[in-house]
Amino acid sequence: MPTPPTVDDLLEVVRRATPDWYSDAMLHPRNVAFLAGVAQMWAALARDIARRQQARYVLPYARQSFEPSSFASPATFTANITNGESLGVAYEVAAGAMRLEGPNGRLYANRDAHRWRKHDAVRTREVVFECLAPGFFGNLDFLDIVGGDNVPAETYEFVDLSRGRGNDGATVVQTGTTLSLRDNGQPEVFSADDINLYVRIDDAAVSENVGRLMRVVAHRPLPEEPPNSNIFPSLVSPQALPIPDRWKAVHTFFGGVFTNVTAAANEADANETALLPPVPVVNDTVYFGHPVHEGTRIEITITTAGEGEWTIVWERWDGNAWVPLADVSDPTQGFRSEPGTYAVEYQLDVPPSQEITINGVAAYYVRARVDAFVSLTTQPVMLFAEAFVWQPLEEELTPTIKWQIRDWKDLGFTIALDDAGNQRGRCCRRTR
């Protein structure tokens, strides 16, 4: 637990906050006595808070007599967090999973969840961090602030959560309906602390598994095996969900004319895109081009619901012809649903989709085509759309997998410099 402030510490706070007034006040004995008395009261309160904070760790079920409301809120600040590596995979940061250490050893965790898409063009996110020790202790890190609300970014660093852990001799085994990584039970092994971090497969007998980087969503220890060996293997389950990606290409084909709308489809702050022309005809189409054939979901954010009578069919290119998607679910109701984000989902097909060139760009396309049209009174409009791809592990029972746990510093995340690119720029600010 952080050490509570002393009387001298608190008097120093007053001196820093009001240097001119403090100098004058110290010339009068009564003021000195008054300030010392107030500081003693603050210090006593801080010690009381410290004792009760420590009790929370030692006696998690202990009853508290009171909680000073003025010190109950955790200190927070906003930092620009940037991923500096090539975004060849998608990154999801669950709330509380990213940890920073402050100048006095206090820990801060991200308050909200954040996501970096695969091939994301925007690498920086504004992330709010919240002190894990609420109230007085967290705010002590802000005593040295000079010149406004900025906190020097160089005083914070990522906590070492991975601790350089890795090993070989792992396997990929079936656990229920999913595939999990099973370590060899000898140090280093997986732990519950790995949840929401990433595991990377550096080597494997099955080539499809090599290089996979996946978020850990569950951990399960296993019984000793073999008996009396002191070997306790464990399992981690990688995220068994499609991961977000950027479109390689998105085109509209209205009235016999192609228009490339990739930039607008990929970015939420770009221009909106009409999903049907003002006067549709049969075979007007929107083409969504995945960079890989494992696409399984399209998330469309609709800003204007279409009104009218028409039929949309969803199709893919199988190498010879456009064929209907397998088990497609379209909650947009042919782009007529109310404004919101909807996931059009479908199954991976065998044989898989094939690459085809549309409007000069080769990709694995899924298309939404007008199959029948009667009337239109309002054009449907989307803000953007997001591609999702399925990248599952392959079962591998030979214990040859070499793995590493990767945290945020390992993945190339940094606390960004200021907009001017200064080496010691101030990029963080208090939010309350």
Annotated domain spans of the chain = 7-69, 73-161+413-430, 166-240+392-406, 244-389
Torsion angles phi and psi, residue 419, rounded to 5 = -60, -25
Report if pTM > 0.75.
no
Roughly how many angstroms between the first and final C-alpha of the chain, as a whole number? 23
Q: Which two structure tokens, joined as six digits, stand for 289?
A: 């081009």
- Please state the rounded mean pLDDT for residues 30-47: 68
The DSSP H or E segment spanning 178 is strand 178-182
By DSSP bridging, strand 396-406 and strand 198-203 are antiparallel
Cα torsion angle, 88, 405, 160, 3, sign:
positive
CB–CB of 397/304 below 8 Å? no
- Among residues 41, 118, 48, which one has the least CA distance to residue 83? 118
By DSSP bridging, strand 114-116 and strand 91-93 are antiparallel
Lowest mean pLDDT among 36-40, 97-101, 115-119, 316-320: 36-40
Dist. CA 47–CA 64, nearest whole Å: 15
CB–CB of 389/245 below 8 Å? yes
- Among residues 220, 247, 199, 233, which one has the least CA distance to residue 393? 199
Residue 103: left if φ>0, alpha if ψ -120 to 50, beta else—which one? alpha
Dist. CA 303–CA 305, nearest whole Å: 7
Task: Tell me the HSE value of 70 on the side-chain side, using a 13 A CA sphere.
Answer: 3
Dist. CA 123–CA 270, nearest whole Å: 16
Model confidence at 50, pLDDT cuts 50, 70, 90, reads low
CB–CB of 154/101 below 8 Å? no
What pLDDT does 427 receive? 40
- pLDDT at residue 424 is higher than 50: no
Radius of gyration of the chain (CA): 28
Dist. CA 308–CA 335, nearest whole Å: 10
Q: What is the pLDDT of residues 258-317, one digit of tens each?
A: 999 999 998 877 678 999 999 999 999 999 998 887 778 899 999 999 999 999 999 999
Superfamily of domain 244-389: Galactose-binding domain-like (2.60.120.260)
Task: Tell me the pLDDT of the chain averaged across its residues.
Answer: 81
Q: Tell me which residue has tokens 């669950």.
A: 94
CB–CB of 409/158 below 8 Å? yes
